[in-house]
Amino acid sequence: MNVDQGIDQRRARRLNLRQDQKGPVIYWMSRDQRFQNNWALLFACRKARQLQQPLEVVFTLAPSFLGAPLRHYDFMFKGLAEAETSLRNAGIPMTVLFGNPEETMPDFVQKRRVGLVVSDFSPLKLVRQWKRAAAAEAPCAFYEVDAHNIVPCWLASPKQEYAARTIRPRLDALRRSFLTPFPEPVAFCQPASLSAPPVNWDELLSLLDTDHSVRPVSGITPGEAAAEQRWRSFLAETIERYDDYRNDPNAGAVSGLSPYLHFGQISAQHVAFEASQSLVSQSNLNAFIEELFIRRELSDNYCFYNEQYDTFDGLPAWAKTTLMEHAEDHRDYIYTPEQFEKAQTHDLLWNAAQLSLVETGLIHGYMRMYWAKKILEWSPTPMAAFDIAVMLNDRYALDGRDPNGYVGVAWSIGGLHDRPWSERPVYGKIRYMNASGCARKFDVSRYISTMNRISQTTLF
């Protein structure tokens, strides 16, 4: 295993076959928007030291991104501003390029005579297209470093995995060599010229083509420091209740890290490593690592190997077959996307889940499954259900537009990574959930009144 200064070389792969050139080293930050515990930044820094070149960070801001509304840019920009400050304090300037990344990045590489580019890793096809175009045009070397997963996605498996049980042995086999602490961010390479003024985030916000009707959320503080704070309090006060209470949305027993993980404001590896070194009981550690490591990396695996991850067509064949066999079944209720969006169904529990999405940008993991399955039950077709669930999740959930979100919808509506269950109307053999099932697990009326109270407060 070739570990060079604490960085396992298997974390990086080449996106073109050109050599490193003489010129500044660029970390093209996209998914992992943080200073600490960032393999892509550490790899770029080591390269800069080797080549005796300055290191710069570039963020390419697209005019729009899969329909992301103001809520997400507000959260992301506050996190990026914090990362910019941390980088500046380490002598590393950060530049934001506004426009289509397929054009702005190649243009930057040319103009600045860049020596080599290091990008982080996202399996989303839009981001992969940006990098494919930029790497093809770049006259210099282009590396991709998976700073998001503990085991680099392309190493975990060479193909789409069927379920957690098939990827788990592969991830477990590599866990020992990849679930490590991070090398200290030693004094970063020679400070570059920090003459550039700080990024004007407010001006950038005004340039975006984004829907301002989905307002910023108030209940969660963005950024790397707040993410770490959230993690520390979860580890100190809550993780011991995780296994027993994680499916109870009233219990507040989940980490609340998913928006921070989505924007890369905290490292999953850092969280998993600290958890495994802590005194937490084995059952709680196993349950937490299953979600944070196995399930999350299974989601990246799905999106990486299945380009139809965001559509009904990407679903397993058995699931599409059974859902289509029941596509004509009678539906007791049918709602339009607007009725779903405005939480105007007959089901108070479902409406409460939708209200939590709209008002807080968060929905409890167990409730997201119930929420998506009822969209299947009350939509005219399974294809429509899939699209409505993805649209609402991406529009309101802070962790939307994320592999975890696409896989969550595909699991709930399309049996992805699940198995066939006993056949029933509309669902076919897709696993069924209902309100009485929820009532067996938690106090439904308490959840409903909590969410209604939240929506009252934020409405006025």
**Is 310 strand, coil or helix?**
coil
CB of 451 to ligand FO1, least distance (A): 23
CB of 442 to ligand FO1, least distance (A): 29
CB of 110 to ligand FO1, least distance (A): 19
* Residue at 220: amino acid letter: I
Selected from 31, 34, 246, 368, the binder of ligand FO1 by CB under 6 A is 31
> Residue 205, Cβ neighbours under 10 Å: how many?
15
131 binds ligand FO1, rule: CB under 6 A? no
In the DSSP assignment, the letter for residue 52 is: T
CA distance linking residue 94 with residue 425, whole number of Å: 55
122 binds ligand FO1, rule: CB under 6 A? yes
388 binds ligand FO1, rule: CB under 6 A? no
Nearest 10 degrees: Cα torsion 273, 276, 277, 279: 150
Selected from 15, 55, 62, 319, the binder of ligand FO1 by CB under 6 A is 62
26 binds ligand FO1, rule: CB under 6 A? no
**Is 256 strand, coil or helix?**
coil
360 binds ligand FO1, rule: CB under 6 A? no
306 binds ligand FO1, rule: CB under 6 A? no
373 binds ligand FO1, rule: CB under 6 A? no
Count, residues near ligand FO1 per rule CB under 6 A: 14
Selected from 7, 118, 127, 153, the binder of ligand FO1 by CB under 6 A is 127
> Residue 379, Cβ neighbours under 10 Å: how many?
24
Angle between helices 268-277 and 282-289 (to 10 degrees): 170
For the chain, count helices (H), then strands (E). 21, 8
Give the interface segment with ligand FO1, choosing from 68-76, 180-188, 267-275, 373-381 (CB under 6 A).
68-76
124 binds ligand FO1, rule: CB under 6 A? yes
CA angle at 63 for the pair 405 and 136, rounded to the nearest 5°: 85
CA distance linking residue 122 with residue 145, whole number of Å: 10
390 binds ligand FO1, rule: CB under 6 A? no
CB of 364 to ligand FO1, least distance (A): 20
Positions in 218-277 near ligand FO1 (CB under 6 A): none
Element (H, E) at 269: helix 268-277
Looking at the Cβ atoms of 127 and 271, the one nearer to ligand FO1 is 127
Contact 414, 319 (CB under 8 A): yes
Contact set with ligand FO1 (CB under 6 A): 30-31, 60-62, 65, 68, 72, 76, 122, 124, 127, 401-402
